[in-house]
Structure formats: C-alpha cells, structure tokens
C-alpha cells in the first residue's frame, strides 16, 4: 500500500464539509453544560438541602463512566423510557420521531455539565474568602456578591480549564459517529471506505482536529490575557 499525498487534500476538502456538525456537537453541549455545571457547582458549594445529594451523585456518575457509555445509555435507554411512558399515558408519541442528534446532544451535555461543574467549583473555591466578606461588608447580598465579585474572578481563573474541556469535547464529539452522526470522524470514515484510502482520510481528519485545537488554544490564550490582566501587574 502506498500513500497518496494528493488525496489527503481531496479528502480534507470533503471532510471539512462535516465541520459544522462537529462544532454543533461540541459547542451546544458545552453551552448546556455551562449552565448545568454552574448550577451544580453552586448547589454543591452551598450544600442545598436534598439537591446537593442529587448533584453529588450526578457528578460522580458522569465523571466516573466513559462518555461513550452515556451516549449508549441514552441512545438505547431513553427511547425505551419515552415509549413506555407514552404508551402508558396514551400520548401516541413515538420515540423514533426524535432525531438521533438530540440523544447525542443530551448525553454530551450531561457529561459536559459534570466536568464543568468541577471546574466552576474549583474556580469559585480559589477566590479568597475575603472577597466575599468585603462584598458583604459593603452591604451586598449573597447573589450580588456572587455575580459581581466572586464569579467574574472564578471564571477568569478557569479559562485554561475551560479550554481543556473544550478541546476534550471537540475530540470526544468524534464518538458520535458510532450512532451514525456525520461529523468529522464519521465523514472521514465514509470518504475512507468509499475511496479505499483509509490512511489519507484519517490524516486529513487529524489535521482538521489539530488545526481547530490550535485555534482554540490561541483564542483561549488571548482571552485569558485580557481577563486576568488585573492579576499580572500590567495596565489595561
């Protein structure tokens, strides 16, 4: 077997068409996970009655099992559940009318929420207690102190960790191809098997992931520099 260098470029162009799907499967779960993660982190920090137990279990399970498992469980389990409930209440609703991508998005969002909640939690804890006390001392309530003083600092400090998660989920979105989502890896697989040029196709896909990651790192570095300027002794 020889390698067809030129075909890498052909495959690259073909696979790139799947980029929107990959970005969609990365950014949407991270956005949902951001909200879930923030809520879960706050619930755990403030030890909210009843909810904190649920939150602990959620984080433990989703961080303790592989993401591919979440996709499988939700892809096979959720339709079963929906159909049972639907039949019981006579809704006449069939789970196969739900697009597959919705299951994938749900699974990835729940995983992202678990990982991001730990990042938020560490970010919030890293802000010194004195900041909260100072906010209280000038008459702020807990919500104001959290949103105006603690969270902005926690977020700024968490940027490198967010980038890690973003990169992780960008690459993890590739496993959506096992439930036949045509994202970058899925597309590479199709190009590879229709042209019988496996190595070239996956090299092309590799370059796309790598390029995206480098761009994400650059952007993160830039945002981090802006967001934590206050800590570096440099002027705005």
Partner 1 sequence: MIYLKDIRKSFNQQPVLKGINLKVGKGEVVAILGPSGSGKTTLLRCLNFLDKPDEGIVQVGDVQVKTKKATKREILSLRRQSAMVFQHYNLFAHKTVLENVMEGLIVTKKYKKTDAKRESELMLKKVGLEDKHHHYPSQLSGGQQQRVGIARALALNPQVILFDEPTSALDPELVGEVLSVIKTIAQEGITMVIVTHEMSFAREVSDRVLFMDGGVIVEEGSPLEIFNAPKEERTRQFLNRISRDIPIPYLEEKAN
For binding to partner 1 (CB under 8 A), which residues are involved?
128, 130-131, 133-141, 144, 148-149, 152-153, 156, 229-233, 235-236
The nearer residue to partner 1, 63 or 226, going by C-beta atoms, is 226
Distances (CA, A) of 234 to 115, 126, 227, 228: 32, 21, 12, 10
The nearer residue to partner 1, 129 or 180, going by C-beta atoms, is 129
CB 71 within 8 Å of CB 103: yes
Computed on alpha carbons and rounded to an integer, the radius of gyration of the chain in Å comes to: 22
d(CA 39, CA 54): 12
The nearer residue to partner 1, 3 or 134, going by C-beta atoms, is 134
- We find the least distance from the C-beta atom of residue 80 to partner 1, in angstroms, to be 45
CA nearest 93: which of 104, 101, 102, 82?
82
d(CA 40, CA 118): 9
The nearer residue to partner 1, 42 or 104, going by C-beta atoms, is 42
The nearer residue to partner 1, 1 or 235, going by C-beta atoms, is 235
- We find the least distance from the C-beta atom of residue 137 to partner 1, in angstroms, to be 4
Distances (CA, A) of 182 to 93, 103, 104, 120, 185: 26, 14, 12, 32, 7
The nearer residue to partner 1, 83 or 224, going by C-beta atoms, is 224
For residue 18, the SS3 value is coil
């Amino acid at each position: 077997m020889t390698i067809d260098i030129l075909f890498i470029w052909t495959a690259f162009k073909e696979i790139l068409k799947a980029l929107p799907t990959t970005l969609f499967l990365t950014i949407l779960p991270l956005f949902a996970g951001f909200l879930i993660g923030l809520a879960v982190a706050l619930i755990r920090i403030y030890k909210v009655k009843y909810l904190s137990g649920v939150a602990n279990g959620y984080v433990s399970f989703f961080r303790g099992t592989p993401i591919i498992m979440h996709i499988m469980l939700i892809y096979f389990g959720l339709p079963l559940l929906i159909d049972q409930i639907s039949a019981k209440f006579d809704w006449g609703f069939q789970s196969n009318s739900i697009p597959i991508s919705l299951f994938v998005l749900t699974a990835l969002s729940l995983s992202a929420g678990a990982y991001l909640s730990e990042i938020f939690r560490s970010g919030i804890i890293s802000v010194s207690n004195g900041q909260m006390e100072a906010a209280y001392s000038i008459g702020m309530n807990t919500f104001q102190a959290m949103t105006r003083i603690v969270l902005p600092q926690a977020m700024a400090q968490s940027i490198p960790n967010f980038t890690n998660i973003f990169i992780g989920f960008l690459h993890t979105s590739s496993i959506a191809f096992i439930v036949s989502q045509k994202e970058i890896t899925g597309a590479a697989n199709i190009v590879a098997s229709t042209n019988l040029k496996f190595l070239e196709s996956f090299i092309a896909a590799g370059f796309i992931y790598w390029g995206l990651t480098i761009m994400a790192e650059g952007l993160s570095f830039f945002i981090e520099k802006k967001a934590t300027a206050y800590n570096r002794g440099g002027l705005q």
